[in-house]
Amino acid sequence: MKRSKSFDQNLIKRILKHIDKNENFIITTHVNPDGDSIASLLVFSYLLKYKNKRYRLLLDDKIPKKFDFLAGVKEIEGMDISSKAIDPEVVVVLDSSDLGRIGRVKELIADDSKIINIDHHPSNDLFGDINLIMDEESSTVEIVYRLYSYLNIPVSEEVATLVYTGVMCDTGRFHFSNTNYRSLSVCAEMVKFGASPTLIANKIYYRMSTKTAQALASALSKIEFYFENRVACMYLLRCDYESSDEIDTEGFVDYLMAVEDTEVQFFMLETEENTFRVSLRSKNSINVNEIARHFGGGGHFRASGCTIHGTLDEIKSKILGTIEMYL
C-alpha cells in the first residue's frame, strides 16, 4: 500500500464511512506525547463530537504540563480505567508509526475493531485497516485539520489554537526543514480564526519548572563531542532528577543543535534502570530516521527517537557506532 502524496478522496470517503456507521471510538496517540500528537488527538475529538459519536481519548502516558491550556486536554484519560468498560468499534491511531508506539492502549483493541491510521511519518508501517499517511505534510494535525475542513465544520478559536500548536511544535517553531508553504498557510488561517501566536509560544516555550531547569543544567554539564566535533551528545540519569513526572525534557536535544560544526546530536534520558529514551537530530544530510530504526524506533529524516535497553556506556557506544556508518 502506497503513502498518499495528496489528500486521497477515496481514503477520505472510507474514513468518513467508518465514522458514520459506527458509534464507539477510541482515539489515541504515541507515548511521550508532543504538541502535534496531543493537538491531533483533540482536533479529531472535535470532529467526532460534531458527528455526535461516543469517544474516549486514551493515552498510555502523562500529558506534559505545558499543554494544560489546550481545550479538551482534561478529557484525555490514562490507562487506569479498569472499572470502565471499553468496547471500541473503531480505534483512531494518530501520529504513530507503528502500533507498539501507543503502549498499553494496544491491549484494548478488539479483534473486530477497525483501525484508522493517520500519520505523517515516513517510517509508518501501514498497520491500519485504513491508512492515511502523508509524509510530505509538516505534522499529523495538519492532515486531521484537512479532514476536519473537508466536512466544512466551523473552526472555533479552540480548534484554531490546537492546529496552530501542533504545526508549531512539529516544525520546531517553524525552523525545521518540514516547514513549508502549506504549514505556514494553515497557521496563518488559524490566526485568522483566533489562535494567538504569542500566547501559544509563551505557554509552551517559556514555562519551565525549577526542576526542569535543574535537569537541563545537569544534562548540559555532560555534553560530549565525537568524530572531530561532528557528533554531540548529552545524557540525564535517574539519579540526576527526582521524578520524571516533574520534568519536561522535550527540546533538550535542541540545545546541542546550536553548537557549531555538529552534524548529528542525541540526548539520552534514563527512564528506568538500564532503559534510555534517545532523541536524535540532524542538521544536514544524515538520516537519523534510519539510525533510530536500527534500534526499533523511527521518526523523520532530521528528527527521530528510540528506546534502548542497556547501560549508559553500552548504549552510547552502540549509537556512536551506528552514526559513524553514516558520517
- Tens-place pLDDT, residues 122-174: 889 999 999 999 999 999 999 999 999 999 999 999 999 999 999 999 999 99
Can you list the domains of the chain with their CATH numbers?
A: 9-204 (3.90.1640.10), 210-324 (3.10.310.30)
CA atoms within 13 A on the CB side of 292: 31
**For residue 310, what is its C-alpha cell?**
542497556
The 10 Å CB-count burial string (b at 16+, else e) for 263-273 is bbbbbbbbeee
* pLDDT, tens digit, 9 for 90 and up, residues 88-124: 999 999 999 999 999 999 998 989 999 999 999 988 9
pLDDT at 308: 97
* pLDDT, tens digit, 9 for 90 and up, residues 197-253: 999 999 999 998 899 999 999 999 999 999 999 999 999 999 988 766 678 999 999
Q: With contact defined as beta carbons under 8 Å apart, do 278 and 304 qualify?
A: no
Whole-number percent of the chain with pLDDT over 90: 81
* pLDDT, tens digit, 9 for 90 and up, residues 14-47: 999 999 999 999 999 999 899 999 999 999 999 9
Q: With contact defined as beta carbons under 8 Å apart, do 81 and 59 qualify?
A: no
Burial class for 83, CB neighbours closer than 10 Å (0-12, 13-18, 19+): exposed
pLDDT at 294: 93
What global pTM score does this model have? 0.91
Please tell me the distance from the alpha carbon of residue 147 to that of residue 124, in angstroms, as a whole number: 19
CA-to-CA separations, 205 to 24, 168, 243, 246, 316, in angstroms, rounded: 36, 11, 21, 16, 29
**For residue 192, what is its C-alpha cell?**
485568522
**CA angle (35, 38, 39) in 5-degree steps:** 80
State the pLDDT confidence band at 175, using cuts at 50, 70 and 90: confident
Antiparallel, parallel or unpaired: β 303-309 and 275-282:
antiparallel
